[in-house]
Structure 1
Amino acid sequence: MFPSQSNIYGLCKADEQELLPATLKGKVVCFRYQDLQKKIRPVAREIQFTYIPVDAEIVSIDAKKKKTSSSKKYVRVHAFFCCLYLSVSFSSRDSGDKATPFLNIYCDYEPGSEFNLESICTCLNLELQFTPFQLYHIEYVIGALWRSSETVFLLSGHDQRIQLYKENASLHQFEEQPVERLFPELQELPSNVLWLNVLSIEQNRRLTAFGCQNGSVGLSLVNQKGPEILQNWRVKHESPICTVLLFPSKQQHQSTDTNSSQRESFHLLVTSAIEMAVVYRDVERYGLSRQLCLAESDQCDAVLCALVVDLDFDGQHELFLPVCTIMCLICDLQDLLCYKFHQPMGAFEDKLQLLWRWSFKSPLLSLIYLDLDGDGLRELAILTLKGLLRTTADLVIHILSTLVSRLPISPKDPHTHTHTHTLKNQDSEEESISIINEPRTAATQH
C-alpha cells in the first residue's frame, strides 16, 4: 500500500529486478525480491531522492541504466528521471503560490562494483515552461557503422510539443536539444501527446507512434541514418488516446512456389478513453488503413494502460487491457482482459480472440513485465490505484492450469516434471504451489 495514489506514468524499471513506483505525494519506493534464509521475500523501501520538496507531486518517472567502459576502468552510469510538478515554487520568491513544474535528472558517474540507489547525489534540476505528461526513453543508434547507441529521453507536455534530453558526455550531464535533429517526425504535432512509443526495426529504421489528447493517432516510418521520414500516417479517433503500443508478430504467408513461410510484421495497439480498443495490422505495409477491433473492449469507460507480451511461452503475444467503468469505481473492481491472435478454419487472416477476463479489487494504472525474483521467468507487475500487486500467483496458475488441461500428456511421460515455487499472494500469505510445466522448459523462452 502507498501513502497516496500513483498515476499511469508512475511506474518504471530501475533494473531488471527492481521496480520504482512513484506516488503523487512525492514518494518513490524501490521494490524488489530478496533471497532471505532460502526464501524469496518482497522488500520495499522508500528512496530519499534529493531536491524533492515535501509538497511536490510526481507526475511521471523513468529510469535507464547505462554501462560504459574504458581502457582503465569500468564505470556504471545510472540516470533516473523524475518529472515533478510542485504545488509551491522554490525557484522564485515572487511567484508566491504559483505551481511550477520541474524536471529532476539524477545521475551517478562514479565507478563502482555495485550501484546503490541510496548513494545518488548528483541532481540536475530544470524548470519547465509546461505541464509534463509522459517521460519516455529510447536507445538511439549512433556512429559511422551504426553499431552503437545512446539513451535519449523524450518528455511530452501540455504545450503540444515533445522535449528531447540528451547526454553531454564531456560535461557529464544531460542537456535539452531540438527534437527535430533526431526525431523529425515529432514536429508539428496535432495536439498534446499523452502517449509515445518507438520501435526499432531492421535496416536501421524505426516506427514512431503517438496518441494525442484530441484523439489523433500518428505513425511514422523513419530511416535513422538521416534521420529521414519515409512515410507518415494519421488517423482521428473520437476521444483522448490513452495508450499506443507497437509490437511485432510472425505471420504465415504463401509464396509463389506454394510453400508457406513466416514473415515478421508490426502492429499498433491503440486504446482510448471511451472507444473500443483497436489494432492496426501490418502498419509497415498498410499504415493505419487495416483496423481490427477488440471485442468487449467498448464495454467500459476507459482503458488506462496496456501490455503486449508472450505470457504463456508459445511464441505468440497476448494483449492485456485493464478496463475501467463507473461500476468498477463504485464496487471497487476492475477487469483485466486478455486477447490473442488466432486464425479460424478457412479464414484468410487471423483474428483477435478474447481468451479470458480477470477481476481485481482496484483500478489498474500500469503494467510491467520483468524478472523480479531472478529465477529466469518474468513476472507481471501491476500498479493499482491503491498500491503495487507484488505477485500475480492466482493469475499465472489460472493460465497454466488452462493450458495443462488442453495437453494430451500421459502421466508416465518422462518429459513431464513438477516444480514447486514459493509465492506470496496479495494477502501476504505464503503458499507452496506445484505447477506442471510443459515438456519444453519455459525459462529458455526469455
Structure 2
Amino acid sequence: MKLEFIPYQLTHTQLITEDTKETVFLLSGGDKKVHLYREVQVVNLEHSFMEDPILEYFPEFKNITSNILWMNIVYTNNCKQRITARGHQSGEIIVFIVEPLTKEILHEFSIVHDGPITRVLLFTSENKINAPSCLDNLGLEGSATKDEKSNLESYHLLVASAVEQSVVYRNILENKFTDQLLLPDSDKFDCVMCACAVDIDFDGKNELLLGTYGQELLTYKFQALQPQPPSAPVDNFDDIDCMNSRRKAYSFSVSTKKMYKSPTVDKTPSSKTVYKDDLSMPDNWTVNTYSPETGIISHRLNMQSSSPGQVKDGYQLLWRRSFSAPVMAVEHADVMGDGMDDLIVLTLKGLHILQPDLSKVAEVCLNRLFDLYHLSFKLQKEDKSKDDNKPSVERKS
C-alpha cells in the first residue's frame, strides 16, 4: 500500500456498530491526520485493505493541529463508551470520551507539555480477571463485577515526553489533569520510547515499565513514599553537574541562576543494583539506588510539597535493567504457553524475552490455593452453621 505521508504510529482497535464489531487499523501520519484501514474481500487475495473516512466512525480525530505521535484507545462499560488519548508533537495531550454507537463526544479535556509526547498509555491500577466458573460459590470478585462508574474512574494516563519526566495522571476521567504523579529518574536515560502496564510481581497491582533510548528498562511501582528533605540553595549555577542528557539541557534553559542543589550522591552503582542478563524478572526486584545526580528539576521544581512527617503516595523506581541497544518496544504475552505472561522487549539489535522465575511463581500459586482452600472451608462451615440454626418443622398427624 502506497503512502503519501510519513507514518508515525500503526495500531489496531475495534470499530463497533449496532450489528458488528470489526478490527481496523489506525495510522497517524505527518499530514496531521489519522487514517483508517479496513479489510476488504477481494478475489484471489487473502488480505486486502482499503482506506475509509475516519471521522464517520472516530469523531475524536477531527481538528488535529499537530502531528499525533502516539494514541491509545480503550473501550469500557461493555464497549458502550470509548476512551481515546492523543499525544501530539506540539506537547498537547487530549483525552476524549466517546459513545461508539451514536458517535457523540461526551467529554473532552486537554493539557500542554513543554516537549513532544512520545507515549500515552491508559491503564488501571488493579489487574483483575474474571473468576472461573468453578469458583462461583466462593463469591470471588472479578473485573466483570465492577459498576460503570467505578470502571470509568479507575483509569489512569501515563504520559512520556521527549524532554520532561514521565508523569501519571490519576483517575483521569474524574480528576482530569489535576492529580499528577511524577516518575522519578525517568528523564535520566534519554528519551522514553515505549511503556507497558503489567503485574510482574503477581500481587494483583499493575507496575509500569518504561523503555528508553538510553538502553534502559525502568520499572515503577505505586506505593507510599516518605517526604523528601528540603534542598539547600546555591548561588553558582556552574557548580551543578546535571547535564547528563539533552532533556536536562532543555529543562535548564532558564533565566535565573538562583537554583537549588541536592546533596552529593555517589555516582557508582550500589551493591543492590543487578545487571546480569541471565537473571529472571523476580530476582531483579531489588531497589536500585543508582543515581548519577539528583538533579534540581526532579527534586525541587517537580516535587509536590509536603509537611514534615507526611507520607505521600507515589511511584518509585524499583529496578532497572540495561540492554545493549535502545529499547523501542515492550509488551507482555504468554509466549511459552505456560499460563504466565512473559516480557517481550524489542531493541534496535534484537528481540529479548524475559521470563519470571518459575519456582517463585509456583510458590505464589501454592499460597493462593492455600487461601482458596481456607476460604472454601470457612464458607462451608458458615453454611453448616446456618443449617443447624434453622428451626425444625414438626409434622402434624
CA distance in 2, matches of 1:170, 1:181: 23
- Matches of 1:186 and 1:176 in 2, distance apart? 15
1:392 to 354, 357, 360: 354
Could you tell me which of 319, 325, 329 is aligned with 1:362?
325
Q: What secondary structure sits across from 2:55 in the alignment?
A: helix
Contact kept? 2:190, 2:213, Cα under 8 Å: yes
Q: Which deviations, in whole Å up to 9, do the C-alpha atoms of 1:274-310 show, x marking residues without a partner? A: 2100011111112223221111112232001111111
1:178 to 2:178 alignment: no
Q: What secondary structure sits across from 1:284 in the alignment?
A: helix
| Alpha-carbon distance in 2 for matches of 1:168, 1:302 | 38
Asked whether the equivalents of residues 280 and 290 of structure 1 are also in contact (C-alpha less than 8 Å), the reply is yes
1:336 aligns with 2:299: no
Structure 1 gaps, min length 5: 1-125, 252-260, 326-333, 405-415, 419-435
Aligned partner of residue 174 in structure 2, secondary structure? helix
Q: Which has the higher contact order (CA 8 A, sep 6+)?
A: 2
Question: Which aligned pairs between 1:30-429 and structure 2 lie closer than 5 A?
Answer: 126-144=1-19, 148-168=20-40, 173-202=48-77, 204-250=80-126, 263-264=150-151, 265-325=154-214, 334-343=215-224, 350-389=313-352, 391-393=353-355, 396-397=356-357
Describe the shift of the 1:173–1:316 C-alpha distance in structure 2 as closer, same or farther (beyond 3 A): same
Bigger CA drift: 339-348 or 180-189?
Answer: 339-348
Distance 2:85 2:362 in 1: 43
Shift of 1:168: 3.9
State the alpha-carbon separation in 1 of the partners of residues 310 and 56 from structure 2: 45
The separation in 2 between residues aligned to 1:373 and 1:151, in whole angstroms, is 26
Amino acid in structure 1 at the alignment position of 2:192: V
Letter in 2 for 1:274: V
- Please report the TM-score for the alignment, with normalisation by the length of structure 1: 0.54
1:348 to partner: Cα distance: 8.9
* Cα offset, 1:179, TM superposition: 1.0
SS in structure 2 at match of 1:356: strand
Report the AA paired with residue 106 of structure 2.
Answer: L
Deviation at 1:438, TM superposition (A): 5.4
Equivalent position SS for 1:440 = helix
SS in 2 for 1:439: helix
Query: C-alpha distance in 2, partners of 1:199/1:347?
Result: 36
| 2:211/2:330 contact within 8 Å kept | no
Counterparts of 2:38 and 2:310, CA distance in 1 = 48
The structure with the largest alpha-carbon Rg is: 2
Deviations 1:89-146 (A, max 9, x none): xxxxxxxxxxxxxxxxxxxxxxxxxxxxxxxxxxxxx3222111211100222225xx
- Residue aligned with 2:194, SS: coil
Look up the SS of the partner of 1:214 in the other structure. Answer: coil
Superposed CA deviations along residues 9-43 of structure 1, whole A, max 9, x for unmatched, are xxxxxxxxxxxxxxxxxxxxxxxxxxxxxxxxxxx
Distance in 2, Cα, partners of 1:140 & 1:221: 15
- Higher helix proportion (structure 1 or 2): 2
Contact 1:190 1:216 in 2 (8 A): no
Q: Given the superposition, is the C-alpha separation of residues 229 and 348 from structure 1 closer, same or farther in structure 2, using an over 3 Å criterion? A: farther
- Secondary structure at the aligned position of 1:136 is classed as strand
Tell me how far 1:190 sits from its aligned partner: 2.3
C-alpha distance in structure 2 between counterparts of 1:359 and 1:168, whole Å: 43
Distance verdict in 2 for CA 1:162–1:266, change over 3 Å: same
Confirm or deny: 8 A CA contact 1:250 1:263 kept in the other structure.
no
CA–CA distance in structure 1, aligned partners of residues 35 and 125 of structure 2: 31
Deviation at 1:250, TM superposition (A): 4.7
Within 2, Cα distance between the matches of 1:193 and 1:228?
Answer: 21
Question: Structure 2 counterpart of 1:338, which letter?
Answer: T
Post-superposition shift, 1:343? 4.0
Percent identity of paired positions between Structure 1 and Structure 2: 41
8 Å CA contact retained: 1:194, 1:242: yes
Unaligned runs of 5+ in 2: 128-146, 227-308, 373-397
2:189·2:216 contact (CA, 8 Å) conserved in 1? no
**Counterparts in 2 of 1:438 and 1:354: CA distance versus 1, 3 Å:** farther
Distance 1:185 1:369 in 2: 28
What RMSD in Å do the two structures reach over aligned CA positions? 3.0
Runs of at least 4 residues off by over 6 Å: 345-349
After superposition, the Cα gap between the structure-2 partners of 1:376 and 1:250, relative to the gap in structure 1 and judged at 3 Å, is closer
Q: What is the alpha-carbon distance in structure 2 between the residues aligned to residue 227 and residue 190 of structure 1?
A: 21
How many residues are aligned here? 262
